[in-house]
Structure formats: structure tokens, C-alpha cells
Amino acid sequence: MLDNFGAFLRQERRYSEHTARSYTTDVRAAMAYATEHGRESPERWTTDLLRGHLARCRRPDGSRLSAASLARKQSALRTFFGWLKRQHPDVGDPTAALRAPKIAKPLPRALDADAVMAMLQPPQGNDIKALRDHAALLLLYGLGLRVSEVASLLDVDLDLARHVARVQGKGSKQRDVPIPAGCIPALAAYRALRPATAGTRFLVGQNDGGLATRTIARMVDGAALRALGRHASPHQLRHSFATHLLAGGANLREIQTLLGHENLSTTQRYTKVGIDRLFAIYDKAHPRA
């Protein structure tokens, strides 16, 4: 059976030899587990059986598999049952109820402080669009907001007198974020020139409506190309905000609150970035490196 499955992967799916071998190995391991539990035939496999198998999967050193490795094994099993149902349409698919593991997206590369400062050079004059774009950059880096939070920010959410922004985060959860003193003049300058007919959003575009996240992303990329000669994203500015805070001595709980992370584990991903940076400094400057 596995030989035929492997041939299907190579010939019909056009999978590489490495991927085809990995998938057949994953299915073979599931077969061995099922046989131990008296369900040798895949037609008798259940979702609970597969959950038990996946829970038992380990690395050679006995440690737990990463989410990406578990996702690969689930993909192999789903592909196998998709192939099996083509041969036997009445066969059930126990993989349909499996919950895919959540794979964390890789963090973007943080910009160094000089690069960020180059992007944040204030515009000359009173061009409303230039002032608006500068304000957006400050909200992304100065406050560490998500691009969706910047786009949805209301004018009434910014209390410049108290240096506080009320932010609507993920899951409609609100948090108060301090506005650095250095950001206040630029935000106030833009606010003073906002059209009287503007809607409730702080950042407005054509027809006085709010800015779309993709518009903000294009603006950030354009600012990076002009200042640095390379691309950048809104999330890269938010990531740089957190990385620079960590390097400056802020603790993870403080950064978690500012970023609006529900779980500390999400914020802890920045510690690796901080450690990598320390190693780079050590290798470059330490006399015993």
C-alpha cells in the first residue's frame, strides 16, 4: 500500500523524492502505532487513534516535536486518506477532525535605531499627506501598534494632553498605550490640519475616509525605500519597537502590555532576538571572543 501511495506522491502530486519519502515514513509510523492498538487496517482508524499517535511522536532525543513537524505529519496523513478515498470512496477520513497545530510566524528582521531614525525624519512644510504619513510611522514605531490598530485608531482615542492612546486591539480588547513626548508635536501638527469634514478615524485618506491597512503598508515601504534603499513593513517597525525596548532594559511583562499580547509566550519570542544581538556584539567587540 505504501509503495502505491509513494508512487502517487511522486507521479501525480509531483512531490520531490525527499517529501515523498517523508510522507510515507510518517504514514508508516502511524500504521505501526495503529497495529499496536489492534487497528492495522487504515479503514478502522479513528481521530482519537491519530491524536494518540501524534501525541506520542518525539524527536530522537525524546523531546516534543515542533508545531511545524506535527503539521507536516498531519499533512502526510491527510494526503494519505485523500488518496485512500480515491481507491475506496466509502472509507471515512479520521483526519478531518484533527486540529492543525498553530505555527508561529517568523519574526521579521528588526531595523536598527539609525535606520528607524532615517525613516522618521520629519517632513518639511505643512503638506497634509506628508504629515499624515509621518504620524502613521510614529504610531507604528513610537507606540508599537499593529497596522490594523493604526488604521482603526479614532481621533478621540488620542489624548495628546495626557500622552495616552486608547487602542482597540485583537479580540476587541482595549489597552492604553503611552505616547512618547517626542511624538506629540508631530501628531498635534497633523491633527491641526485634518480636514474639518474628516470622519472619526485619526488617519484619513481620500474622501476623508479612513486609511486601509494595505495603504499604510505601501506608505511604510515607500518611506523605507526612500530612506534606506530597501523594503520594510509595518510589522517590522512594531518589531523594532519591541526589540529596542528589550535592548534598553524593559522587561517582558512591560513589553507584553505595550504590544497587547494576550500570552507572555508571544512576547518571549523577542528574547531570542535580544540574545542573538548580544552574541553579535560579543563576537564583534569582546577581546576574548
58, 59, 170, 226: which one is catalytic? Answer: 170
Least Cα distance to 34 among 21, 56, 53, 55 occurs for 53
* Alpha-carbon gap, residue 258 to 137, rounded angstroms: 17
Q: Is 6 helix (H, G, I), strand (E, B) or coil?
A: helix
282: annotated active-site residue = no
170: annotated active-site residue = yes
208 within 8 A of 198, measured Cβ to Cβ: yes
Long-range contact set of residues 127-130: C-beta below 8 Å, sequence gap at least 24: 128/190, 128/193, 128/194, 128/195
132, 201, 239, 261: which one is catalytic? Answer: 261
DSSP letter string, 55-122: HH-B-TTSPBPPHHHHHHHHHHHHHHHHHHHHH-TT---GGGGPPPPPPPPPPPPPPPHHHHHHHTPP
235: annotated active-site residue = yes
* Alpha-carbon gap, residue 147 to 159, rounded angstroms: 19
53, 146, 239, 244: which one is catalytic? Answer: 146
73, 132, 238, 239: which one is catalytic? Answer: 238
33, 141, 190, 270: which one is catalytic? Answer: 270
> Residue 238 CA to chain centroid, in angstroms?
11
214: annotated active-site residue = no
270: annotated active-site residue = yes
212 within 8 A of 151, measured Cβ to Cβ: yes
191, 235, 269, 277: which one is catalytic? Answer: 235
184 within 8 A of 158, measured Cβ to Cβ: no
79 within 8 A of 23, measured Cβ to Cβ: yes
286: annotated active-site residue = no
Question: Hey, which residues are catalytic here?
Answer: 146, 170, 235, 238, 261, 270
